[in-house]
Structure 1
Amino acid sequence: MTPVDTDERPFVLIWEVTQACELACEHCRADATPDRHPDELSTAQGKALLDDVRRFGDGQLVVLSGGDPLAREDTVEFVDYGTDIGLRMTVTPSGTRSLSTGAVRALADAGVKQLAVSIDGATPGSHDSFRGEAGSFEQTVRAARDAREAGVPLQVNTTVCAQTVDDLPAIRDLVRELDAVLWSVFFLVPVGRGRVLEPVSPERAERVMGFLDEVSREEDFGVKTTEAPHFRRVQAQRAQSRDGDGGPRRRGGITAGDGFAFVSHTGDVYPSGFLPESAGNVADDSIVDLYRDSDLFETLRRKDELTGKCGACEFRQVCGGSRSRAYAETGDPMGSDPLCEYVPEGYDGPLPERQASELAGD
């Protein structure tokens, strides 16, 4: 597989087709509401966006998200259209009544390449409490099994925060039982309704990543983190300790603006849904031009211009830290990621407030 040049195209482009959703999830970035916004991109505008995305090249991955993308009646039409023009279309529906067996089959028939569902608790009680809707766990698990029956690869998304972290081993078992191909573990960024939740500490996050590294080596499904790129640093260090095959590499995965782009329901283009600084709007400019040439995106791709301990870190090219979390907690998207426990050898500069307090024993 030819490596992706992330200066030219993203690995992943997410289009938030709507913010409408029946759920009231405690961590919701979008502050989703039951009703659709009147200024959402129309069906015609959505297809024009997909046509423009096609300029990135063959097989560009597009994720239709929300809110609940199935709150729009034309989401299946977007999957069908994107598939026809050569895009790899995936969908992240909410665990609501809209995620019916018929909806899963319709997405499969339209050519969806993967379905991603969210499981944030190992039991109906814990998951439904987090998602704010009784019955969400049952609907989500049923839809996951429907996807398997329809031959659609399944991804399971899980949020890590103080409320969910103890359930991770049991959720891992459920991911295995559902025959998922990928477990995507999202480390909370305090935006939207997520500001009221308690994140895990840097020390706890480090232990969770050690657990996830073990899972990635033991299970048949893949494991990735969202907004926690220092998982790659943890994996490299553990590989070095285990068998001498580790240490920094030249390039890593994706971070906000570097291999990743986000289009909002109204067409604003962001480096990530968790980094609300807009580079422009698809109604006025090409998504391709905004990704490649905007000052915001170009700056975020310059890992050597990171500041604080992220800028001093020998793993900055393989990791780069969460630019979204740095922005959410400091206002500077190029600053240190406050969730990362690692301090580069010889670094004597300032530490993120949360980490400095932890080291001081406060």
Structure 2
Amino acid sequence: MFDDLDTDRRPLVLVWEVTQACELACRHCRADAKPARHPDELTTAEGKRLLREAAEFGDGQLVVLSGGDPLAREDLLELVEYGAERGNRMTITPSGTRSLTPERVRGLADAGVRRMALSLDGATRESHDAFRGEASFADTLTAAEAARDAGLPLQINTTVCAETVEELPTIRDRVRDLGAVLWSVFFLVPVGRGRVLDPVSPERAEAVMEWLHEVDAAEPFGVKTTEAPFYRRVGLQGDRTGSARRGGITAGRGFAFVSHVGEVYPSGFLPESAGNVREESVVDVYRDADRFEALRDPDRLTGKCGACEFRNVCGGSRSRAYAHTGDPLASDPLCPYVPEGYDGPLPGSVERSGRA
């Protein structure tokens, strides 16, 4: 018998980008989403086959339906119901638009959605709507209240970049007031429209990580980071014993992404295909593709990530390494930590000054 949480055998998170269509034009959008649906999206039948295959990973496979905006698909509820019936834990990340009415939120809950994630990238209407490109702040809050009324656990996703970092404490207060169960804090990876945004510096990222651990300890909701696995390293160095609990999930290692046209990527932020679900099972691609196998082996990392004693619980953002260097096994340029005794090359603008 295999360990049910063995990331060589199954992803802890499987994301399916059901469409790239979306009414919004968010400034950081990985998908560079557009209003119209792509004509070659996976069909309903192909989507159901993917959900059947996802269930083969094991009981309770977490499947995230993302976009674009999943609500752009007319068969969304049918797909949710089908996936839930196969034993998958179905979750969804809809866009905060007028189409996400309380009635639709209740319909998603009734169909079998186990958690809904909404994006909040500003603490006020002005800052959030400026970042998202459309007037979505009020619609997002309405949907969050609808989720609470429907008994649907709520996750809030927030992008961290130079434009948003100062608002994090006030966004934290919003997350608490909305009754969210989890705050997922995404550190910008320069792909899609996000290429025009400025990231925070490595030193500022480190400080934010330390603050997020304080938030995690003090608030009723959990905190996790996306594309910033050195959050776990910061926690371990601060003697926070729970920091390794969520360890080991990075692109291709505990995580897989299926695009709207069926390409299987290690992450939506690392768009290098290892196969297509129209041609082979997502299970086989995840378990056997060379690209995924390489990303699951921390001893294949190079630079200071390869030399780091925390590589098994962190491993760095493979997506950010790829975005900056074209090599997904290179060092993560956002992490300022330098392993003791390491004297090799450093990524990006990070200055080597001993241990962080």
TM-score tier (shorter) = over 0.9
Cα distance in 2 for partners of 1:288, 1:25 equals 32
Whether contact under 8 Å (2:248, 2:315) holds in the other structure is: no
SS of the aligned residue for 1:354 comes to coil
CA-to-aligned-CA distance 1:133-177 (integer Å, 9 cap, x gap): 02x010001100100000000000000000100000000000000
Cα distance in 1 for partners of 2:218, 2:239 equals 14
> Does residue 175 of the first structure (1) align with residue 175 of the second (2)?
yes
Cα distance in 1 for partners of 2:264, 2:331 equals 24
Cα distance in 1 for partners of 2:246, 2:211 equals 23
Cα distance in 2 for partners of 1:40, 1:97 equals 24
SS of the aligned residue for 2:15 comes to strand
Q: Which residue of 2 aligns with 1:144?
A: 144
Structure 1 residue 350, shift from structure 2 partner = 0.4
Structure 1 residue 253, shift from structure 2 partner = 3.0
Whether contact under 8 Å (1:99, 1:143) holds in the other structure is: yes
| Among 318, 325, 328, the residue aligned to 1:323 | 318
Letter in 1 for 2:154: L
> Does residue 195 of the first structure (1) align with residue 195 of the second (2)?
yes
SS of the aligned residue for 1:114 comes to strand
Q: Which residue of 1 aligns with 2:289?
A: 294
Aligned CA distance change for structure 1 residues 250 and 182 (closer, same or farther; 3 Å): closer
Aligned length: 351
CA-to-aligned-CA distance 1:16-54 (integer Å, 9 cap, x gap): 000000000000000000000000001111111101111
Q: Which residue of 1 aligns with 2:211?
A: 211
Cα distance in 1 for partners of 2:104, 2:190 equals 32
| Among 344, 353, 357, the residue aligned to 2:348 | 353
> Does residue 92 of the first structure (1) align with residue 76 of the second (2)?
no
Q: Which residue of 2 aligns with 1:265?
A: 260
Cα distance in 1 for partners of 2:152, 2:131 equals 26
Cα distance in 2 for partners of 1:32, 1:173 equals 29
Cα distance in 1 for partners of 2:246, 2:111 equals 35
Q: Which residue of 1 aligns with 2:158?
A: 158
Cα distance in 2 for partners of 1:234, 1:40 equals 40
Cα distance in 2 for partners of 1:220, 1:286 equals 39
Alignment of 1:104-123 (within 5 A): 104-123=105-124
SS of the aligned residue for 2:8 comes to coil
Letter in 2 for 1:48: R
Alignment of 1:7-18 (within 5 A): 7-18=8-19
Q: Which residue of 1 aligns with 2:227?
A: 227
Whether contact under 8 Å (2:16, 2:259) holds in the other structure is: yes
Whether contact under 8 Å (1:71, 1:98) holds in the other structure is: no
What is the TM-score with the length of structure 2 in the denominator? 0.96
Cα distance in 1 for partners of 2:87, 2:245 equals 30
Structure 1 residue 246, shift from structure 2 partner = 8.7
SS of the aligned residue for 2:87 comes to coil
Cα distance in 2 for partners of 1:77, 1:84 equals 11
Structure 1 residue 103, shift from structure 2 partner = 0.8
Alignment of 1:21-170 (within 5 A): 21-134=22-135, 136-170=136-170
Whether contact under 8 Å (1:261, 1:272) holds in the other structure is: yes
Structure 1 residue 353, shift from structure 2 partner = 2.1
Using the aligned pairs only, state the percent identity. 72
What is the TM-score with the length of structure 1 in the denominator? 0.95
Cα distance in 1 for partners of 2:231, 2:250 equals 12
Unaligned runs of 5+ in 1: none
RMSD of aligned alpha carbons: 1.5
